[in-house]
Amino acid sequence: MRRAGRAVLLAALFGAGTALAADKPFEDLAYGAYQTGHYRRAQSEALKRIEADNNDAAAMTLLGEIYRQGLGVAPDQKVATEWYEQADARGDINATFALATELLDEASGKRDPVRAGKLLEKAAAAGHPSANYNFALALLATGSGTDEQRAVACLELAAKAQVPDAAYALGILAQQGRGLPRSEETAARWMKQAAEGGNVSAQVEYAIMLFNGTGAPKDEKAAAHLFRQAAEQGNAIAQNRLAKLYQFGLGIPPDTIEAAAWHLAARSQGLQDAGLDALFDKLNPEQKTRAASMAATRISSFALTAP
């Protein structure tokens, strides 16, 4: 499990209905400009808001994000941190979470893991979904049974707010019996939610569960679909499993060339498979060329779309 990335932060800050401007999402000029990519105007309008109201924490948080990402301005982590601090002091919970992540970053100029942890716990206690996910990871790292139970509660809150990484973490914990009773059915339920939310690791895990009928009814066709989703996003394990499904015609029609192509894609990432090597070796020269060409196209696509 990993700490939620800035994409999760951005979703929390500027997700459905612009959380920071929920009082007037369609009228606010600063957030309207931000959402349409007019970042200099967003900066100008946010500054106007603060000039009119020195307690406008939401506008301060927006400025923090603009400077952190360098949107229409030169990126400046120190300035971003200062805006987040002002917004946090005025009670903006999105700023509290953003400030916590900044204080874990050397570029902020104010790295302070201890303070960051306290801010993260504060934001989590206030119900911030991504803060709950990150705080849960910190709790799990302690190895304490009590902390594991607290982590599960935090993850459940984040998962209910549609943070896919949190649902994936719950699936893993249910498989391990950490912080909650061990249950393949519970694990499958959380893995399904995470997979549907786009978590690639969950797509692979849930596909394996569907293929084997573990915790969910056996469904090779659905498993193949999920393996392909993850494979197309560059996951080597999914590419290898998809190659095997094509090799044996499980859940999808058999296709030797597809099997070879996906095998070559997985092998390019270091995942070896002697059985699929043997399949490739048995192809004639024309088939090998086709498979290699397909694999090269896919590998190039993965490189271009990788985060």
Total Cβ atoms within 10 A of residue 181: 7
Tens digits of residue pLDDT in 180-200: 999 999 999 999 999 999 999
Residue 8 has pLDDT above 90, yes or no: no
d(CA 29, CA 159): 32
* Axis-axis angle for helices 129-140, 6-14 (nearest 10): 150
What is the average pLDDT across 108-131? 93
The per-residue pLDDT for 14 is 40
Domain formed by 6-126, architecture: Alpha Horseshoe (1.25)
d(CA 130, CA 238): 27
Tens digits of residue pLDDT in 238-286: 999 999 999 999 999 999 999 999 999 999 999 999 999 999 999 999 9
Q: Which two tokens stand for residue 275?
A: 């059985």
The per-residue pLDDT for 20 is 43
* Axis-axis angle for helices 6-14, 93-102 (nearest 10): 160
Q: Where are the domains of the chain?
A: 6-126, 219-305
In residues, how long is the chain? 307
Percent of the chain, pLDDT > 70? 90
CB 224 within 8 A of CB 252: yes
CB 66 within 8 A of CB 43: yes
What is the average pLDDT across 6-19? 38
d(CA 2, CA 94): 20
Residue 221 has pLDDT above 60, yes or no: yes
- How does the average pLDDT of the chain come out, rounded? 90
DSSP-derived 3-state class of residue 127: coil
Tens digits of residue pLDDT in 14-43: 432 233 433 444 348 999 999 999 999 999
The per-residue pLDDT for 306 is 59
Tens digits of residue pLDDT in 200-220: 999 999 999 999 999 999 999
Q: Is 67 exposed, middle or buried (0-12, 13-18, 19+ CB in 10 A)?
A: buried
